[in-house]
Amino acid sequence: MQSEAVEKYLKTIYEIQQHGGRVKTTNLAQTLNVTAGSVTDMIKRLSNLRPKLVSHELHKGVALTPRGKKVALSVIRRHRLLETFLNRVLGFSWDEVHDEAQNLEHHISDRLTDAIAEYLNHPQYDPHGDPIPGKDGKMKADNFRSLGSTPVGESVRIARVHHNDAELLRYLDKLEIRLETIVTVVEKAPFQGPLSIRVGAQRSAPIKTLGINVADEIMVEPISNSHFV
């Protein structure tokens, strides 16, 4: 197992890379809340390891090597399995699991990780709908789109929430917007205004309002394509 600091860097680089391209050191420093100098020192260290874990090009940023990606995905696997264990077995709510898993993800062995996966019958998604990497690092692909891009009149199923902010998750829970919930877009206000959605499958279900910035964090799928197992 790599050191905790190394794992944090690799996981963060992977997550930022999912939004496209190489990762700027300034972006990495802001995300990790460390100085630019600290980032530069760590990137040099990761670049000099054999096998190297990142590649760095001046003025272009950082990218994970295949080895670095493998390590990052193993950390993400541990994190999401821990979240699922905390939720399913210990009864933690979806707004509580992220911070707890964050504290534990660097301190459990591969053997314990595999045992948790086996106990949970190898889940493919965590409590937020994020895919859980397999032991081989592979994850199920999805074709989700944001709730904010869903046309008026269409009914969809909540599949994923792209956010670990506990306050936001509690807010969604209060609105009864959870994974697998069926919602229908009733109205979209112009100029990036809020969405009015019917929460529930029945036509008599309550109408709730969401800001477009929140709706864009919620990923949905057609009702007939439910990915939950």
Contacts 24+ apart (CB under 8 A), 111-115: 113/77, 113/78, 113/81
Q: Which two tokens stand for residue 119?
A: 């106990």
pTM, 2 dp? 0.91
Q: Which two tokens stand for residue 97?
A: 């699991």
Q: Alpha-carbon distance 223 to 82, whole Å?
A: 28
- The domain made up of 145-225 has a fold known as SH3 type barrels. (2.30.30)
Question: Cβ-count burial of 164 within 10 angstroms (0-12 exposed, 13-18 middle, 19+ buried)?
Answer: middle
The CATH code for residues 73-141 is 1.10.60.10
Per-domain residue ranges of the chain: 4-64, 73-141, 145-225
H or E stretch covering 187: strand 182-188
- The domain made up of 4-64 has a fold known as Arc Repressor Mutant, subunit A (1.10.10)
Q: What are the pLDDT tens digits along the chain (229 aa)?
A: 578 999 999 999 999 998 878 999 999 999 999 999 999 999 999 998 888 999 988 878 999 999 999 999 999 999 999 999 999 999 999 999 999 999 999 999 999 999 999 999 999 999 999 999 999 998 888 889 999 999 999 999 999 998 889 999 999 999 999 999 999 999 999 998 899 999 998 889 999 999 999 999 999 999 876 565 4
